[in-house]
Structure 1
Amino acid sequence: MDQQLEVFIKVVEKKNFSKAAEELHMTQPAVSQYIRSLEESTGVKLLERTNKYVRLNKAGEIVFHHALEIKELYAKMNHLLDDLTNKASGSIAIGASYTFGEYLLPAIIAEAKEQYPDIKPTVTIGNTTTIAALVLNHQLDVGIVEGHFKGVKELKTEPFAKDRMVIVAPANHPLTERENPILIKELTEETWILRELGSGTREAAEAVFEKFELSPQAIMHFSSTQPIKAMVEAGIGISLLSEWAIQKELKYGDIKVLNVKEMPYTRDFSIVTRSPFQTKALSEFLKLLKNHKEVTDFKVE
């Protein structure tokens, strides 16, 4: 990687020339010279400097953002070259939306570490929109998401498994005792407790409402699944959730699945990548992901 950019990144991260010099095992004048050379080559001033602080100006923000991308791409290039002769090893930056990340990914990571002890996975959990954006910006090597995102031609999306979604209610809800199937339109007056906009689970709920022309009279929303389950258990309302997310609650009888005629609703789990090249570590992880027993229970045909 270009030494000027490496020094620039370190100065920005440390917010101090002397601390950056110490980290890079260089003299402070040498660090200053690298920054001057970078500013001369770009033709713009990148840092605001006083005796008290060093901070980015607008041009500096642009250079810093792209310098981080260049650093990630440079590291990925070296991993790919190493993989031509070496075994699967090195870092994998994995992103996952909440349902997959919280309820399926931990077991897959454990299996990957057992089979490939030299890989170093890091995991980011976020909603589908967030994970897709991080993959697009090279901050993640791969994303595992539910739902869809539009207008991002640079990303490759590969559905690899199905997820079944059901409507859940408090264990003592009157409808849990009904033998005949419930019509989804009977749930209009219920309070629906949903995920936030931008999440795959919320997208699924909106798709169900549109498909069956359902207009709930009351909606509450939360940014993760755990508080939704707690609210349902407490009798506040009902929700549409993945079967994977409610295994423990069903086992202990804390909540129940309503026998709704139009359910379950199915959606895809998808793998999202940007680069056509994969490190050996990432390639082996994806093979393991696609063949993991829990995932293959709901395999895409």
Structure 2
Amino acid sequence: MADRRLQVFHAVAKHGSFTRAAEHLFMTQPAVTFQIKQLEEHFDTRLLDRGHGKISLTPAGELVLAYAERILGLSEELESRVSELTDELAGTLNIGTSTTIAAYWLPHLLEGFKRRYPRVVPRVVVGNSQLTEDRVAARDLDIGLIEIVSDQNSIERRSAARDELMVICSTDHPLARFERLTAADLVGHPFINRDTGNAIRQLAEEFFAAAGIQMSEIPLCAELGSLATVKHLAAEGMGFAIASRAAIQRDVREGRLMGIPLEPRMFTPLEVIIPRDKFRSRLITTFADFACEEFARMAQEVDKAD
């Protein structure tokens, strides 16, 4: 409903980059540039200063940004209120999710929600938990599904369930013979770690630290943001990794990987997060409630399957 030019200008001002704004809006960079040019021609003044690879707002740009935020907020609220009067949920829902949740939990979650609310269009961005948390806090996303406990004041969090962490390795790896693995058992074996900001990386480092083991004592095989690549390297015998039980269940069942519990046991939380001060539409609230219920239900199914 709101002027598309204002939406694009708001994104560029917020991200400080035409490229990042284009990625956020699912547009091409030339299309973003065209919308900004149209808006500047409409006001007959320059709104952005572009120089030395940086973008800054002119005084006119500051004024337009202040009004754009109010207009876009009211437009979103209007769309939501009218939709609620029809008693049928509809519209776009911007969701951020960690890579592990995207790999296992999200497909079932979206399938169930789409069957119940077919007019809702989920728009999903996959990244690590820290990146997703930051984007929800910045109000770039309506809702986030992450594996870390958020302590940001600008975020409302709901603890939905938890998933056990396990060591994964090939079936002929020396670690495969263990029924449980302590931090000391893992010393000397090449480790396939996750990328910075990944919740499982953080928990793995805490696991070793609690046992008095420095990460320098664990030979590093690779640092990866892709769960699929982590599992592939582990299955090929390149090293061990730590992953959530739900994400490896099928691989273990089909004999591609071994999954061994940690000692002491460790769990990753499944958290649903929402911007605290963002207008809360019925769509956002309904999806958050549904996600919490489904996470809890699926976690029980994972427990029963073992």
2:298 corresponds, among 283, 294, 299, to 294
**Which residue does 1:116 correspond to in 2?**
117
The reply on whether 1:240 has 2:242 as its aligned counterpart is: yes
**Which residue does 1:102 correspond to in 2?**
103
User: Which ranges of structure 1 fall in alignment gaps of 5 or more residues?
Assistant: 22-30, 40-44, 50-54
Aligned-partner SS, 2:271: strand
**Which residue does 1:9 correspond to in 2?**
9
Displacement, 1:210? 1.4
2-structure distance, mates of 1:206, 1:18: 45
Displacement, 1:137? 2.1
1-structure distance, mates of 2:81, 2:274: 19
**Which residue does 2:255 correspond to in 1?**
253
Moved more, 236-245 or 279-288: 279-288
- Amino acid of the structure 1 residue aligned with 2:113: A
Structure with greater Cα Rg: 1
2-structure distance, mates of 1:108, 1:196: 25
2-structure distance, mates of 1:14, 1:288: 35
**Which residue does 1:159 correspond to in 2?**
159
User: Which ranges of structure 2 fall in alignment gaps of 5 or more residues?
Assistant: 13-17, 19-30
**Which residue does 1:191 correspond to in 2?**
190
Q: How many residues align?
A: 274
Aligned-partner SS, 2:209: helix
**Which residue does 1:172 correspond to in 2?**
172
The reply on whether 1:211 has 2:210 as its aligned counterpart is: yes
* Identical positions, percent: 19
TM-score (norm 2): 0.77
**Which residue does 1:24 correspond to in 2?**
none
How well do the aligned residues superpose, as a CA RMSD in angstroms? 3.4
- Amino acid of the structure 1 residue aligned with 2:33: K
**Which residue does 2:223 correspond to in 1?**
221
**Which residue does 2:270 correspond to in 1?**
269
Q: Does the CA contact (< 8 Å) of 2:157 and 2:271 recur in 1?
A: yes
2-structure distance, mates of 1:18, 1:175: 57
Aligned-partner SS, 1:91: strand
- Amino acid of the structure 2 residue aligned with 1:176: A
Q: Does the CA contact (< 8 Å) of 1:148 and 1:200 recur in 2?
A: no
TM-score (norm 1): 0.78
Displacement, 1:282? 2.0
